[in-house]
Structure 1
Amino acid sequence: MTTAEDQTHAPYRRGERLTCTLEELVERARSLAAGGNRFVLGITGAPGAGKSTAALAIVKALGDQAALVGMDAFHLANGVLAGHGSLDRKGAPDTFDSWGYAHLLWRLKSNREPVVYAPVFDRSLEESIGCAVPVGCDVPLVITEGNYLLLDAEGWREGREVIDQVWYLDTGNDERQRRLIRRHEAFGKPAAEAEAWALGSDQRNADIVESTLERADLIINLTGIHRPQPSA
Protein backbone atom coordinates (compact mmCIF):
# COMPACT_ATOMS: atom_id res chain seq x y z
CA MET A 1 0.00 0.00 0.00
CA THR A 2 1.34 3.42 -0.98
CA THR A 3 1.76 5.93 1.84
CA ALA A 4 1.41 9.70 1.67
CA GLU A 5 5.06 10.14 2.66
CA ASP A 6 6.07 8.15 -0.43
CA GLN A 7 3.70 9.96 -2.76
CA THR A 8 3.34 13.61 -1.73
CA HIS A 9 5.59 14.91 -4.50
CA ALA A 10 5.84 11.81 -6.71
CA PRO A 11 3.79 11.18 -9.86
CA TYR A 12 1.06 8.55 -9.62
CA ARG A 13 -1.08 6.44 -11.91
CA ARG A 14 -4.80 7.08 -12.30
CA GLY A 15 -6.74 4.86 -9.93
CA GLU A 16 -3.78 4.41 -7.57
CA ARG A 17 -4.66 3.81 -3.93
CA LEU A 18 -3.24 5.94 -1.14
CA THR A 19 -3.47 5.63 2.63
CA CYS A 20 -2.92 8.91 4.49
CA THR A 21 -4.03 11.15 7.32
CA LEU A 22 -6.10 14.27 6.86
CA GLU A 23 -3.03 16.37 7.60
CA GLU A 24 -1.15 14.66 4.79
CA LEU A 25 -4.08 15.21 2.46
CA VAL A 26 -3.95 18.92 3.30
CA GLU A 27 -0.27 19.02 2.32
CA ARG A 28 -1.08 17.43 -1.03
CA ALA A 29 -3.69 20.10 -1.65
CA ARG A 30 -1.26 22.82 -0.53
CA SER A 31 1.17 21.74 -3.26
CA LEU A 32 -1.61 22.07 -5.86
CA ALA A 33 -2.34 25.62 -4.68
CA ALA A 34 1.31 26.52 -5.21
CA GLY A 35 1.33 25.57 -8.89
CA GLY A 36 0.91 29.11 -10.21
CA ASN A 37 -2.39 28.65 -12.08
CA ARG A 38 -6.01 28.13 -11.05
CA PHE A 39 -6.43 24.45 -10.11
CA VAL A 40 -9.77 22.72 -9.61
CA LEU A 41 -9.67 19.73 -7.24
CA GLY A 42 -12.64 17.39 -6.90
CA ILE A 43 -13.29 15.29 -3.81
CA THR A 44 -15.83 12.52 -4.23
CA GLY A 45 -17.04 9.33 -2.58
CA ALA A 46 -20.27 7.72 -1.49
CA PRO A 47 -22.66 9.56 0.88
CA GLY A 48 -21.08 9.72 4.33
CA ALA A 49 -17.53 9.04 3.09
CA GLY A 50 -16.19 12.24 4.67
CA LYS A 51 -16.04 14.50 1.62
CA SER A 52 -17.26 17.61 3.42
CA THR A 53 -14.98 17.01 6.41
CA ALA A 54 -11.91 16.66 4.19
CA ALA A 55 -12.80 19.60 1.92
CA LEU A 56 -13.54 21.93 4.85
CA ALA A 57 -10.31 20.94 6.61
CA ILE A 58 -8.27 21.72 3.49
CA VAL A 59 -9.93 25.09 2.96
CA LYS A 60 -9.55 26.03 6.62
CA ALA A 61 -5.86 25.08 6.61
CA LEU A 62 -5.09 26.88 3.34
CA GLY A 63 -6.99 30.06 4.19
CA ASP A 64 -7.24 32.51 1.30
CA GLN A 65 -5.38 30.08 -0.99
CA ALA A 66 -8.47 27.86 -1.41
CA ALA A 67 -12.23 28.10 -1.84
CA LEU A 68 -14.93 25.44 -1.50
CA VAL A 69 -17.79 25.02 -3.97
CA GLY A 70 -20.18 22.13 -3.34
CA MET A 71 -22.04 20.01 -5.88
CA ASP A 72 -24.96 19.81 -3.45
CA ALA A 73 -25.77 23.46 -4.19
CA PHE A 74 -27.17 22.20 -7.50
CA HIS A 75 -29.95 20.16 -5.93
CA LEU A 76 -33.19 20.93 -7.73
CA ALA A 77 -35.55 22.81 -5.40
CA ASN A 78 -38.03 20.74 -3.40
CA GLY A 79 -40.94 22.27 -5.30
CA VAL A 80 -39.40 21.23 -8.62
CA LEU A 81 -38.74 17.71 -7.33
CA ALA A 82 -42.29 17.44 -6.03
CA GLY A 83 -43.58 18.47 -9.45
CA HIS A 84 -41.43 15.74 -11.03
CA GLY A 85 -42.59 13.18 -8.48
CA SER A 86 -39.01 12.61 -7.37
CA LEU A 87 -38.85 14.32 -3.97
CA ASP A 88 -38.47 10.95 -2.25
CA ARG A 89 -35.40 10.30 -4.41
CA LYS A 90 -33.68 13.59 -3.61
CA GLY A 91 -29.94 13.03 -3.97
CA ALA A 92 -30.15 10.77 -7.04
CA PRO A 93 -28.19 11.99 -10.10
CA ASP A 94 -31.28 13.20 -11.97
CA THR A 95 -32.35 15.39 -9.02
CA PHE A 96 -29.48 17.83 -9.69
CA ASP A 97 -28.89 20.52 -12.29
CA SER A 98 -25.77 18.79 -13.62
CA TRP A 99 -25.40 21.21 -16.56
CA GLY A 100 -25.58 24.21 -14.23
CA TYR A 101 -22.88 22.66 -12.07
CA ALA A 102 -20.69 22.00 -15.12
CA HIS A 103 -21.09 25.60 -16.26
CA LEU A 104 -20.06 26.93 -12.84
CA LEU A 105 -16.98 24.71 -12.88
CA TRP A 106 -16.09 26.03 -16.34
CA ARG A 107 -16.37 29.63 -15.10
CA LEU A 108 -14.16 28.80 -12.12
CA LYS A 109 -11.55 26.97 -14.18
CA SER A 110 -11.38 29.59 -16.96
CA ASN A 111 -10.92 32.28 -14.27
CA ARG A 112 -11.89 35.18 -16.55
CA GLU A 113 -14.08 37.05 -14.05
CA PRO A 114 -12.97 39.13 -11.05
CA VAL A 115 -15.32 37.19 -8.77
CA VAL A 116 -17.57 34.18 -9.32
CA TYR A 117 -20.44 33.88 -6.83
CA ALA A 118 -21.32 30.23 -6.27
CA PRO A 119 -24.44 28.86 -4.55
CA VAL A 120 -24.42 26.86 -1.32
CA PHE A 121 -26.72 24.10 -0.06
CA ASP A 122 -28.27 24.78 3.37
CA ARG A 123 -28.99 21.43 5.03
CA SER A 124 -31.18 23.04 7.67
CA LEU A 125 -33.48 24.34 4.91
CA GLU A 126 -32.88 21.46 2.48
CA GLU A 127 -32.60 24.14 -0.22
CA SER A 128 -29.86 26.00 -2.07
CA ILE A 129 -28.98 29.68 -1.63
CA GLY A 130 -27.60 31.50 -4.66
CA CYS A 131 -24.58 33.81 -4.84
CA ALA A 132 -23.39 32.79 -1.37
CA VAL A 133 -19.74 31.85 -1.96
CA PRO A 134 -17.49 34.50 -3.55
CA VAL A 135 -14.46 33.05 -5.34
CA GLY A 136 -11.99 35.75 -6.38
CA CYS A 137 -9.71 35.36 -9.38
CA ASP A 138 -6.67 35.42 -7.05
CA VAL A 139 -7.67 32.14 -5.34
CA PRO A 140 -5.32 29.46 -6.75
CA LEU A 141 -7.18 26.34 -5.58
CA VAL A 142 -10.90 25.68 -5.97
CA ILE A 143 -12.16 22.55 -4.25
CA THR A 144 -15.47 21.03 -5.26
CA GLU A 145 -16.96 18.04 -3.47
CA GLY A 146 -19.93 15.82 -4.19
CA ASN A 147 -21.16 12.36 -5.07
CA TYR A 148 -21.25 12.36 -8.85
CA LEU A 149 -18.04 14.03 -10.01
CA LEU A 150 -17.03 10.89 -11.92
CA LEU A 151 -20.43 9.86 -13.27
CA ASP A 152 -20.46 9.01 -16.98
CA ALA A 153 -23.67 10.84 -17.91
CA GLU A 154 -24.68 14.07 -19.63
CA GLY A 155 -23.79 17.19 -17.68
CA TRP A 156 -21.64 15.25 -15.23
CA ARG A 157 -19.13 14.36 -17.96
CA GLU A 158 -18.86 18.02 -18.95
CA GLY A 159 -18.18 18.98 -15.36
CA ARG A 160 -15.48 16.32 -15.01
CA GLU A 161 -13.68 17.69 -18.07
CA VAL A 162 -12.77 20.92 -16.26
CA ILE A 163 -11.75 19.33 -12.94
CA ASP A 164 -7.98 18.84 -12.89
CA GLN A 165 -7.93 15.97 -10.40
CA VAL A 166 -10.59 13.96 -8.59
CA TRP A 167 -9.80 12.24 -5.30
CA TYR A 168 -12.14 9.43 -4.20
CA LEU A 169 -12.53 8.85 -0.46
CA ASP A 170 -13.05 5.13 0.06
CA THR A 171 -14.73 4.52 3.42
CA GLY A 172 -16.12 1.23 4.75
CA ASN A 173 -19.89 0.86 4.49
CA ASP A 174 -20.53 0.30 8.20
CA GLU A 175 -18.78 3.53 9.25
CA ARG A 176 -20.29 5.45 6.34
CA GLN A 177 -23.83 4.39 7.20
CA ARG A 178 -23.37 5.22 10.88
CA ARG A 179 -22.27 8.73 9.89
CA LEU A 180 -25.30 9.14 7.64
CA ILE A 181 -27.73 8.07 10.34
CA ARG A 182 -26.16 10.53 12.81
CA ARG A 183 -26.31 13.29 10.17
CA HIS A 184 -29.99 12.71 9.41
CA GLU A 185 -30.81 12.67 13.12
CA ALA A 186 -28.84 15.90 13.65
CA PHE A 187 -31.01 17.59 11.03
CA GLY A 188 -34.28 16.49 12.64
CA LYS A 189 -35.18 13.05 11.31
CA PRO A 190 -36.46 10.54 13.90
CA ALA A 191 -34.13 7.59 14.45
CA ALA A 192 -36.19 5.10 12.43
CA GLU A 193 -36.58 7.50 9.51
CA ALA A 194 -32.88 8.39 9.60
CA GLU A 195 -31.91 4.73 9.40
CA ALA A 196 -34.41 4.01 6.62
CA TRP A 197 -33.09 6.91 4.54
CA ALA A 198 -29.41 5.96 5.10
CA LEU A 199 -29.98 2.31 4.20
CA GLY A 200 -32.46 3.05 1.42
CA SER A 201 -32.10 6.12 -0.79
CA ASP A 202 -28.58 6.95 0.41
CA GLN A 203 -27.38 3.40 -0.19
CA ARG A 204 -28.84 3.30 -3.71
CA ASN A 205 -26.92 6.50 -4.46
CA ALA A 206 -23.81 5.04 -2.82
CA ASP A 207 -23.95 2.06 -5.17
CA ILE A 208 -23.95 4.46 -8.15
CA VAL A 209 -21.02 6.44 -6.75
CA GLU A 210 -19.00 3.32 -5.95
CA SER A 211 -19.35 2.18 -9.57
CA THR A 212 -17.31 5.26 -10.60
CA LEU A 213 -14.40 4.60 -8.22
CA GLU A 214 -11.87 3.41 -10.82
CA ARG A 215 -12.19 6.69 -12.77
CA ALA A 216 -10.62 8.63 -9.88
CA ASP A 217 -7.10 10.02 -10.04
CA LEU A 218 -6.47 8.85 -6.48
CA ILE A 219 -8.45 6.44 -4.29
CA ILE A 220 -7.83 7.50 -0.70
CA ASN A 221 -8.23 5.73 2.62
CA LEU A 222 -8.09 8.34 5.39
CA THR A 223 -6.61 7.10 8.65
CA GLY A 224 -7.67 9.09 11.70
CA ILE A 225 -9.50 12.39 11.41
CA HIS A 226 -7.39 15.08 13.06
CA ARG A 227 -7.91 18.75 12.36
CA PRO A 228 -4.94 20.42 10.62
CA GLN A 229 -3.88 23.85 11.85
CA PRO A 230 -4.75 26.80 9.59
CA SER A 231 -2.04 28.69 7.73
CA ALA A 232 -0.62 31.73 9.52
Structure 2
Amino acid sequence: MLASLVADALALVPQDPPGGRARVILGLTGAPAAGKSTLARYLVHAVDERAGKGTAGYLPMDGFHLSNAQLDRLGRRNRKGAPDTFDAHGYLAMARRLLAETDTPVYVPDYDRRLHEPIAAQHVIEPGTRLIVTEGNYLASDEPPWDGARGLFAQLWYVETEDRVRERRLRRRQMAGGANADDARDWVERSDRPNGELVKGMRERCTRVVRVSGVPRLGSRDRFSAR
Protein backbone atom coordinates (compact mmCIF):
# COMPACT_ATOMS: atom_id res chain seq x y z
CA MET A 1 0.00 0.00 0.00
CA LEU A 2 1.10 3.54 -0.68
CA ALA A 3 0.69 4.47 2.98
CA SER A 4 3.25 1.88 4.07
CA LEU A 5 5.73 3.01 1.41
CA VAL A 6 5.35 6.62 2.48
CA ALA A 7 5.82 5.63 6.14
CA ASP A 8 8.98 3.72 5.28
CA ALA A 9 10.32 6.67 3.29
CA LEU A 10 9.56 9.00 6.20
CA ALA A 11 11.42 6.67 8.55
CA LEU A 12 14.57 7.28 6.50
CA VAL A 13 14.46 11.06 7.04
CA PRO A 14 17.43 11.77 9.35
CA GLN A 15 17.65 14.16 12.23
CA ASP A 16 20.39 16.77 12.03
CA PRO A 17 23.60 15.73 13.82
CA PRO A 18 25.28 18.26 16.14
CA GLY A 19 26.92 20.98 14.09
CA GLY A 20 25.60 19.96 10.69
CA ARG A 21 22.85 18.75 8.39
CA ALA A 22 22.12 15.12 7.62
CA ARG A 23 20.79 13.81 4.29
CA VAL A 24 20.14 10.35 2.84
CA ILE A 25 19.19 8.96 -0.57
CA LEU A 26 16.43 6.45 -1.26
CA GLY A 27 16.94 4.67 -4.60
CA LEU A 28 14.23 3.21 -6.82
CA THR A 29 15.19 0.94 -9.69
CA GLY A 30 13.41 -1.39 -12.10
CA ALA A 31 12.88 -2.09 -15.78
CA PRO A 32 11.81 0.69 -18.18
CA ALA A 33 8.23 1.95 -17.60
CA ALA A 34 7.85 0.04 -14.33
CA GLY A 35 6.56 3.22 -12.64
CA LYS A 36 9.77 4.41 -10.98
CA SER A 37 9.49 8.10 -11.73
CA THR A 38 5.79 8.21 -10.83
CA LEU A 39 6.45 6.56 -7.49
CA ALA A 40 9.48 8.77 -6.83
CA ARG A 41 7.47 11.93 -7.43
CA TYR A 42 4.63 10.64 -5.28
CA LEU A 43 6.98 9.86 -2.39
CA VAL A 44 8.54 13.33 -2.57
CA HIS A 45 5.07 14.90 -2.52
CA ALA A 46 3.81 12.71 0.32
CA VAL A 47 6.90 13.15 2.50
CA ASP A 48 6.68 16.93 2.03
CA GLU A 49 3.01 16.85 3.03
CA ARG A 50 3.78 15.05 6.27
CA ALA A 51 7.19 16.38 7.25
CA GLY A 52 7.13 19.87 5.74
CA LYS A 53 7.72 21.35 2.30
CA GLY A 54 11.27 20.83 1.06
CA THR A 55 11.97 17.80 3.27
CA ALA A 56 12.29 15.58 0.18
CA GLY A 57 13.84 16.17 -3.24
CA TYR A 58 13.98 14.35 -6.57
CA LEU A 59 17.03 13.18 -8.53
CA PRO A 60 16.13 11.40 -11.80
CA MET A 61 18.83 9.29 -13.44
CA ASP A 62 17.25 10.10 -16.81
CA GLY A 63 18.59 13.63 -16.49
CA PHE A 64 21.99 12.10 -17.20
CA HIS A 65 21.05 10.74 -20.63
CA LEU A 66 23.71 11.68 -23.15
CA SER A 67 22.40 14.25 -25.61
CA ASN A 68 21.32 13.13 -29.06
CA ALA A 69 24.36 14.90 -30.49
CA GLN A 70 26.69 12.82 -28.31
CA LEU A 71 24.79 9.61 -29.10
CA ASP A 72 25.12 10.37 -32.82
CA ARG A 73 28.84 10.98 -32.36
CA LEU A 74 29.18 7.62 -30.58
CA GLY A 75 26.92 5.78 -33.01
CA ARG A 76 24.63 4.73 -30.14
CA ARG A 77 21.41 6.65 -30.78
CA ASN A 78 19.63 3.48 -31.91
CA ARG A 79 20.26 2.00 -28.43
CA LYS A 80 19.37 5.06 -26.39
CA GLY A 81 18.58 3.93 -22.86
CA ALA A 82 21.32 1.27 -22.68
CA PRO A 83 23.78 1.57 -19.76
CA ASP A 84 26.50 3.23 -21.84
CA THR A 85 24.17 5.93 -23.18
CA PHE A 86 24.13 7.77 -19.84
CA ASP A 87 26.72 9.95 -18.13
CA ALA A 88 27.07 7.46 -15.29
CA HIS A 89 30.06 9.23 -13.76
CA GLY A 90 28.11 12.49 -13.78
CA TYR A 91 25.15 10.87 -12.02
CA LEU A 92 27.39 9.36 -9.35
CA ALA A 93 29.20 12.66 -8.84
CA MET A 94 25.86 14.41 -8.38
CA ALA A 95 24.65 11.84 -5.85
CA ARG A 96 27.88 12.19 -3.85
CA ARG A 97 27.64 15.97 -4.04
CA LEU A 98 24.10 15.91 -2.69
CA LEU A 99 25.21 13.84 0.30
CA ALA A 100 28.15 16.15 1.02
CA GLU A 101 26.89 19.61 0.05
CA THR A 102 23.97 20.45 2.30
CA ASP A 103 24.41 24.19 2.81
CA THR A 104 23.60 25.51 -0.69
CA PRO A 105 20.93 24.82 -3.32
CA VAL A 106 21.98 22.16 -5.84
CA TYR A 107 20.37 22.11 -9.27
CA VAL A 108 19.84 18.74 -10.96
CA PRO A 109 18.78 17.81 -14.51
CA ASP A 110 15.83 15.82 -15.83
CA TYR A 111 14.80 14.39 -19.20
CA ASP A 112 12.16 15.94 -21.48
CA ARG A 113 10.29 13.24 -23.42
CA ARG A 114 8.85 15.79 -25.82
CA LEU A 115 12.28 17.13 -26.79
CA HIS A 116 13.97 13.73 -26.31
CA GLU A 117 16.83 15.53 -24.57
CA PRO A 118 18.15 16.05 -21.01
CA ILE A 119 17.37 19.45 -19.51
CA ALA A 120 19.80 21.11 -17.10
CA ALA A 121 18.72 22.49 -13.71
CA GLN A 122 15.16 21.17 -13.95
CA HIS A 123 14.97 20.50 -10.20
CA VAL A 124 16.55 22.07 -7.14
CA ILE A 125 17.59 20.36 -3.92
CA GLU A 126 17.38 22.94 -1.15
CA PRO A 127 19.69 23.05 1.88
CA GLY A 128 16.85 21.88 4.13
CA THR A 129 16.18 18.74 2.10
CA ARG A 130 16.82 15.61 4.17
CA LEU A 131 15.64 12.84 1.84
CA ILE A 132 16.58 12.53 -1.82
CA VAL A 133 14.46 10.12 -3.86
CA THR A 134 16.34 9.00 -6.95
CA GLU A 135 15.28 6.54 -9.62
CA GLY A 136 16.75 4.89 -12.68
CA ASN A 137 17.23 1.65 -14.55
CA TYR A 138 20.78 0.76 -13.57
CA LEU A 139 21.07 1.70 -9.90
CA ALA A 140 21.52 -1.97 -8.87
CA SER A 141 24.05 -2.79 -11.58
CA ASP A 142 27.31 -4.48 -10.63
CA GLU A 143 29.06 -3.24 -13.78
CA PRO A 144 31.39 -0.24 -13.48
CA PRO A 145 30.85 2.62 -13.12
CA TRP A 146 27.24 1.92 -12.09
CA ASP A 147 28.45 -0.41 -9.33
CA GLY A 148 29.36 2.70 -7.34
CA ALA A 149 25.71 3.66 -6.90
CA ARG A 150 24.35 1.18 -4.35
CA GLY A 151 26.74 2.25 -1.61
CA LEU A 152 25.29 5.77 -1.77
CA PHE A 153 21.73 4.74 -0.92
CA ALA A 154 20.15 4.20 2.48
CA GLN A 155 17.84 1.71 0.73
CA LEU A 156 17.26 0.58 -2.85
CA TRP A 157 13.76 -0.56 -3.84
CA TYR A 158 13.02 -2.58 -6.96
CA VAL A 159 9.82 -1.42 -8.67
CA GLU A 160 8.20 -4.32 -10.51
CA THR A 161 5.40 -4.36 -13.08
CA GLU A 162 4.20 -7.06 -15.49
CA ASP A 163 6.10 -7.02 -18.78
CA ARG A 164 2.94 -6.69 -20.86
CA VAL A 165 1.93 -3.57 -18.91
CA ARG A 166 5.41 -2.05 -19.19
CA GLU A 167 5.67 -2.68 -22.91
CA ARG A 168 2.24 -1.20 -23.54
CA ARG A 169 3.36 1.93 -21.69
CA LEU A 170 6.62 1.97 -23.65
CA ARG A 171 4.82 1.81 -27.00
CA ARG A 172 2.50 4.61 -25.92
CA ARG A 173 5.51 6.62 -24.76
CA GLN A 174 7.13 6.30 -28.20
CA MET A 175 3.93 7.24 -29.99
CA ALA A 176 3.46 10.25 -27.73
CA GLY A 177 6.93 11.30 -28.83
CA GLY A 178 5.96 11.19 -32.51
CA ALA A 179 6.60 7.57 -33.57
CA ASN A 180 4.00 5.62 -35.51
CA ALA A 181 2.74 2.28 -34.18
CA ASP A 182 5.20 0.15 -36.18
CA ASP A 183 8.21 2.27 -35.23
CA ALA A 184 7.11 2.28 -31.59
CA ARG A 185 6.86 -1.51 -31.57
CA ASP A 186 10.26 -1.82 -33.27
CA TRP A 187 11.91 0.47 -30.73
CA VAL A 188 10.51 -1.44 -27.78
CA GLU A 189 11.64 -4.78 -29.20
CA ARG A 190 15.08 -3.52 -30.24
CA SER A 191 15.98 -1.29 -27.30
CA ASP A 192 13.59 -1.18 -24.35
CA ARG A 193 13.06 -4.95 -24.13
CA PRO A 194 16.76 -5.91 -23.91
CA ASN A 195 17.35 -3.07 -21.45
CA GLY A 196 14.49 -4.39 -19.34
CA GLU A 197 15.82 -7.95 -19.36
CA LEU A 198 19.18 -6.63 -18.18
CA VAL A 199 17.59 -4.69 -15.32
CA LYS A 200 15.43 -7.62 -14.23
CA GLY A 201 18.61 -9.55 -13.49
CA MET A 202 19.50 -6.96 -10.84
CA ARG A 203 16.35 -7.48 -8.78
CA GLU A 204 17.92 -9.59 -6.03
CA ARG A 205 20.46 -6.89 -5.18
CA CYS A 206 17.74 -4.55 -3.92
CA THR A 207 16.50 -3.96 -0.39
CA ARG A 208 12.89 -4.81 -1.23
CA VAL A 209 10.50 -5.35 -4.11
CA VAL A 210 7.59 -2.98 -4.74
CA ARG A 211 4.99 -4.47 -7.08
CA VAL A 212 3.02 -1.97 -9.12
CA SER A 213 -0.52 -2.76 -10.26
CA GLY A 214 -1.18 0.55 -12.02
CA VAL A 215 0.10 4.07 -12.53
CA PRO A 216 -0.42 6.01 -9.29
CA ARG A 217 -1.58 9.59 -9.27
CA LEU A 218 -1.47 12.05 -6.43
CA GLY A 219 -4.28 11.22 -4.05
CA SER A 220 -4.68 7.66 -5.31
CA ARG A 221 -4.71 4.69 -2.94
CA ASP A 222 -3.71 1.05 -2.93
CA ARG A 223 -1.83 1.15 -6.21
CA PHE A 224 1.32 -0.41 -4.76
CA SER A 225 2.11 -3.46 -2.70
CA ALA A 226 5.48 -4.19 -1.18
CA ARG A 227 7.46 -6.94 0.44
2:41 aligned with 1:56? yes
Structure 1 portions without partners, runs of 5+: 1-20
Q: Please, which moves more after superposition, 109-118 or 74-83? A: 109-118
The equivalent of 1:177 in structure 2 is 167
Contact 1:40 1:165 in 2 (8 A): yes
Which of 9, 12, 30 is matched with 2:10 structurally? 30
2:86 aligned with 1:96? yes
Q: How many residues of Structure 1 are paired with residues of Structure 2 in the alignment?
A: 210
Contact 1:98 1:155 in 2 (8 A): yes
Which of 71, 78, 99 is matched with 2:68 structurally? 78
**Pair 77,217 (structure 1): closer, same or farther in 2 beyond 3 Å:** same
Structure 1 position 225, deviation (Å): 4.8
CA distance in 1, matches of 2:66, 2:212: 31
Which of 3, 19, 26 is matched with 1:41 structurally? 26
Which structure 1 residue ranges, 4+ long, deviate > 2 Å from structure 2? 21-24, 33-37, 222-230
Contact 1:22 1:228 in 2 (8 A): no
Amino acid at match of 2:79: R
Give the match's secondary structure for 2:84. helix
Contact 2:105 2:126 in 1 (8 A): yes
**Pair 190,149 (structure 1): closer, same or farther in 2 beyond 3 Å:** same
Give the match's secondary structure for 1:132. strand
Contact 1:115 1:135 in 2 (8 A): yes
Amino acid at match of 1:56: R
Structure with more contact order per residue of length (Cα contacts < 8 Å, sep ≥ 6)? 1
CA distance in 2, matches of 1:130, 1:106: 18
With the length of structure 1 as denominator, give the TM-score of the two structures.
0.84
Contact 2:71 2:85 in 1 (8 A): yes
Q: Give the superposed CA RMSD.
A: 1.8
Structure 1 position 228, deviation (Å): 4.8
With the length of structure 2 as denominator, give the TM-score of the two structures.
0.86
- What percentage of aligned pairs have identical amino acids? 40
Give the match's secondary structure for 2:94. helix
